[in-house]
């Protein structure tokens, strides 16, 4: 996980929202490791970044292995999990989930403010 965050920070080092992007990679990567075959002995997940103008798309592809599609939930105050996609959706303009039990790609799209060094 640390490697994916570091890579994201290195690639986007001169881009506003680099901290938010690293957090999104961390949350989506953690979900892949915790909830899919990506967390297994030979599992892996892949991160792709696409930056075009003021739009940044962050995609994480998992190794599949589960039938349930990830959803944005509103966990209760005592819940110990279930906040990752909610946090990602708060930082992103759009969150899309594609795929099935063989592997899913979760893409968070962010709009980078013009002329503002932070998000």
50-106 confidence digits (pLDDT tens) = 999 899 999 999 999 988 888 777 766 766 666 789 999 999 999 999 999 999 999
119 falls within a domain: no
Distances (CA, A) of 39 to 66, 83, 89, 93, 109: 12, 19, 23, 28, 24
Q: Is the C-alpha dihedral spanning 89, 119, 30, 62 positive or negative? A: positive
> Residue 83 sits in a domain of what CATH number?
3.30.565.10
Global pTM reads 0.89
112-116 average pLDDT score: 77
| HSE of 31, CA atoms in CB hemisphere, 13 A | 30
Structural domain including 18 reads 2-111
Give the pLDDT confidence score for residue 80 in this predicted structure: 63
């Amino acid at each position: 996980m640390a490697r994916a965050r570091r890579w994201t920070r290195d690639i986007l080092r001169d881009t506003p929202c680099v901290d938010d992007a690293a957090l999104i990679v961390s949350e989506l990567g953690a979900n892949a490791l915790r909830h899919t075959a990506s967390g297994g002995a030979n599992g892996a997940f892949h991160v792709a970044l696409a930056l075009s103008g003021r739009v940044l798309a962050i995609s994480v592809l998992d190794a599949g292995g589960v039938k349930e599609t990830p959803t944005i939930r509103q966990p209760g105050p005592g819940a110990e999990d279930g906040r990752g996609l909610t946090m990602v959706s708060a930082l992103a303009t759009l969150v899309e989930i594609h795929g099935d039990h063989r592997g899913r790609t979760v893409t968070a799209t962010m709009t980078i403010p013009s002329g503002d060094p932070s998000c």
